[in-house]
Chain A
Amino acid sequence: MTFGNAVQRLFAPSARPFTIVVGTIIVLGLFDRGTGYFFSIGTVFSVMQLFATLGLVALGLGLSMLIREFDLSVSGMVGLAGCIAVLTGASNPWLGAALGVAAGLLGGLIQGLIMTRLNLSSVGVTLGGLLTMQGLTYVLTDNQTISYPKIAVPLGLNAPLAGLFSLRSVVALAVFAIAALAMRYTRLGRDVIATGSDRRASRIAGLNTDRVVISVFAASGGSSALAGVLLSYSLGAASPVALSDVLAPAAAAAIVGGVSVIGGRGSPMGIAAGVLTLCILSSGLSAIGVAPYVHDLVTGAILLVIAILDAPDLAQRITTWQFDRAERQRNALKGASS
């Protein structure tokens, strides 16, 4: 029973992402069996490099899921912001980065305004946004890969810091820290959870939910745009086709990270754990020599388990089953003693 309680606590929605990431490390460590392929500084570094891109996108998408919306435009934002940064930052990388991120904020803001003013759902609006941004990216790049002339920028962004991190992954971690503090300590953070748990109730209780929605989509756009800027700068190139498939892993990371698809539950730290899980699976499985298609299988299995754990009456069914079993045991004892 106490063991059952401990398991239940470890898999409670707020603790689950951290349990899963630790579990993943332990399981991969067992496969590693001291060969050092998995437990190496190189693996940590590559996990953090993956984290830098996937994390910022998953954070944006996860924030939109927190208010029970879904920002499909995140992958379009990554590509568009990367191109803008490479095109406008040729002489001054800071300018390019600022314009790239500004484009993301603006894109999110416009989508949020359209949704709230016209009372539309995010899926339709952000799907439109996604296609628009992809189209814009093709136009801006003329469907060519554009290389970035300043070699120092990719080198600087990717140079290892303390062996484990790079400037790129440190920036991503800093954004997560800011998001976590904002969710916990600011009014907007509190209002995001309230809006996500019941938009209508929050609105008639006097909360300006439109402002919350617009802010979240601006933040989501900005975060994805930053991911795109960092990625393009560190690759030293922007291409219209790069990373169009980041949406599914980002959604998976957010869900593994404890963001509820029905809104109102989740945290930046949980999302970070979810992203880490996916990144560790990806580099860890490669490091121990597992074929890439297995990554998807494992991620898919974890998502399915989480979906099943979230089934509304599962906990109750288990409790009922436990009661029944205890009852049967008591009856059996009674039968034996009489």
Chain B
Amino acid sequence: MNKYFSTKMSIFVFATPALLLFTVFCVYPLVPEIWMSLQKHNGFQSLGFVGLDNYKAIFASSSFWTAHKNTYLIVGISLLLGIPLSMTLALFMEIQTPRLRRFFKSAAMFPAILSVTVVAQIWLAFYEPNWGLFNSILRAIGMDSWTHSWLTEKNTVMLSIGLTFLWQYIGLNAMLFYTGIKTIPKSYYEAALIDGANFAQVCMRITIPLLQNIIKYVLILSTLGSMAFYSHVRVMTAGGPGDKSRTVIYQMYYTAFDTSEFGKGTAIAVVFILECLLISFLIQRFVARDKLEF
């Protein structure tokens, strides 16, 4: 019967719209991206073919490396702090009373549905040096020497923005883990209980190993999400002080749209796409290769 439905015409009608949209707006832009990266381009017209000069120029610029350091700092924060913390929240959520759990779930997901502009602007007030929340608290408990001008000092700026990002998505990740925990059959826990295992042992030996599919999913989501980190920086510091809080995407935007060096901007993008592909490949290759079935 599927043969009866699968005429050339019907396949064409069903497959074309989505494939066309996907190709034109998602895949095709990679072609002019690579082509533009080999030219001197001011956004309106090409000023001549320059070969790999744009790549040489961006590799020689210190802003490019600062941007990489910042982007991978954010990736590091969300993988090394974000994932363990949200996993901990999810594990402990399981042993709360249902009412408390419902409250916590709704509250923890709330920041993730707010727009970046709003969240970043709110945290701008928290970091404000004179009357902001953090400095006010530090002064109130007598730790005046710990106060900082969080977003204008080059040592604190990226960590401060990273904390905002961490806070915004940690609840969502915890919910993803918690949903995964719910799908683990109860019989595994009953067996462990009979053997006299405690909470920590159950978490380490049963829950976390059986969550590897979800862990992989969250890992990919967090990695690619933090690789593309841009909006918080735009609202909170506009890359400042100097170039100290620019991420790779920010550096790409800045190079293309603020200095009209579209060739160099696309060169940054091409290098970065290769990094994204490499990282996705590494995760696919080395994390949780066998799909678990219960």
- Chain A partners chain B: no
Using a CB–CB cutoff of 8 Å, the interface residues on chain B facing chain A are none
